[in-house]
Amino acid sequence: MESFFSFLEKRVDDCSSLLCIGLDPHIPDLKEPSAAAARDFCLNLVKQTSRYAAAFKPNAAFFEVFGAKGWTALKDVIDAIQEESNRMGSMIPVILDAKRGDIASTAEAYATSAFETLGAHCITLSPYLGKDSIEPFIQNSERGVFLLCKTSNPGSGDLQDLRVTIDHRQLTMVNSPSSMVYLYEHVAHLAQTWNTKNNIGLVVGATHLDALKRVRAAAPDLWFLAPGVGAQGGELESALKAGLRKDGKGMLIPISRSIARAEKPGSAAAELRDQILAIRSSIIATS
């Protein structure tokens, strides 16, 4: 049975890339503060970089800021990626970076919006309302989710680094360090268990190398979306060493600003793709 991650792996093989290109039309980068300018900015990036993209990741917030016209622009961008996929004969997955999380009935509406109305293939979600809040997004194996596990921002530790243990399938704070795990590790264990349709992955920041290692140990089979390389200070080689699966896959490296703001975005994407491949080859050769 086809699944989101079987589609992703095919694309990874087709383009020899683990590069996920972020589509974040920051207003200062646009010709003018408008939905049309955001759309044109992203369409140019798609056209220049699609051959190097294992996936595209539009961030919903940068479109939502323009209201209804922004949603239309986002739909136009996703449609353009589909057209580029058709032209190349290789489906480029679209990961909608929206970080949704709500009760099941509301989640159903969010899932319909992301997958049916906008046409995205995958979405980022918060898992902190429990499994029923993500169920509407994972019913169709061909649609995927990346669950927030250990995020790249400095404040992620406020909650995600809490020490917890499991008592009758509930999280209970305890005082014995020998029986504690980090909350993000428990999220990883849950995701590995929930991934019965091969359509659940994890967001694990490249800025937290120890967490990457711990999450990989907790979820050896899952794909990671690993933001934070570049502008946020994450170091590419160290992140790949910590998070790649044994097969040399299992990680998408999302890059936005260093590509979008380059004089030649296509060349910047090609260089990053090749850099990732060289590091991966070195890791595989020495493992």
Please give the positions annotated as active site: 99
* CB-facing half-sphere around the CA of 88: CA atoms within 13 A: 19
Percentages helix, strand, coil for the chain (3-state, rounded to 5) are: 50, 20, 30
How many helices (H) and strands (E) are present in the chain, helices listed first? Answer: 12, 11
Instruction: Give the dihedral of Cα atoms 56, 61, 62, 67; nearest 10 deg.
Output: 120
Instruction: Report H helices in 16-100.
Output: 35-49, 61-64, 68-88
User: Cβ–Cβ contacts within 10 Å for residue 185, how many?
Assistant: 22
Distance between CA 206 and CA 43 in Å, rounded? Answer: 27
Q: Which residue has the tokens 């704070």?
A: 173
Cα angle 95, 35, 44 (rounded to 5 degrees) comes to 60
- Classify 80 as helix, strand or coil: helix
Residues 6+ apart with CB under 8 A from 247: none
Report which of 230, 239, 212 is spatially closest to residue 269, judged by C-alpha positions.
230
Residues sharing a CB contact under 8 Å with residue 36, sequence separation 6 or more, in sequence order: 69, 73
Say if strands 181-182 and 163-167 run parallel, antiparallel, or are unpaired: antiparallel
